[in-house]
Amino acid sequence: MKTPAEHGFTLIELIIVIAILFILIVGLVAAFASFTKGHALSGAAESALSLLEKARSQTLASIGDTQYGARFDASSMTLFAGSYSGGAPGNVVFPYDSRVTMSNISLSGAGSEVIFKRLSGATDQSGTITFSLPNSPTVPAKVIMVSNSGLVELH
């Protein structure tokens, strides 16, 4: 017959189980954090791509009989009509996720704007726009390429 001391778990067994659970939870939290950072980066790059496509589409549709463009700053992007003027009532500003930054912009003319030409949809501001996660250097950056013809691609 077993004595009462032989029933149940020992303190060592409980500590081992708690340690294993702690390690599993830490691993899951780290994986989830990495996933959400990558998702934020992809979301910002896809939003920028969509904004450029919208500016080109509105230009080709001659909405308001004007050209449209997109301006990129470190923490936001702006859709504008005509030429960019900060604070103009027609501007539509889209902030990036706070974890994402536009880390590099390399456009012809060394500006931060892409303006599309009416009738052709082409642009004189071809080049690249790079988004990254400054606090996560291991996550690869997302690069948008703008061609002279006005077509945009995400890499």
> 66-110, pLDDT tens digit by residue?
999 999 998 899 999 999 998 889 999 999 888 898 889 999 988
Residue 55, number of CB atoms within 10 A of its CB = 27
Q: What local confidence, expressed as pLDDT, does residue 107 receive?
A: 94
How far is 60 from 50, CA to CA, in rounded Å? 15
4-44 residue pLDDT tens = 556 777 889 999 999 999 999 998 888 887 778 888 899 99
Q: Which two tokens stand for residue 82?
A: 């005509």
Q: What's the pLDDT score for residue 142? A: 94
Find tokens 């904004």 and name the residue: 51
Q: What is the CA radius of gyration of the chain?
A: 25
Predicted confidence (pLDDT) at residue 150 exceeds the cutoff of 90:
yes
According to DSSP, residue 83 is labeled: S
pTM over 0.85: no
Q: How far apart are CA 50 and CA 68, in angstroms?
A: 13
DSSP H or E segment with residue 79: strand 76-81
Determine the Cα–Cα distance for residues 132 and 138; give it in Å rounded to an integer. Answer: 10
% of residues, the chain, pLDDT over 90 = 58
The encoded tokens of residue 126 equal 């071809």
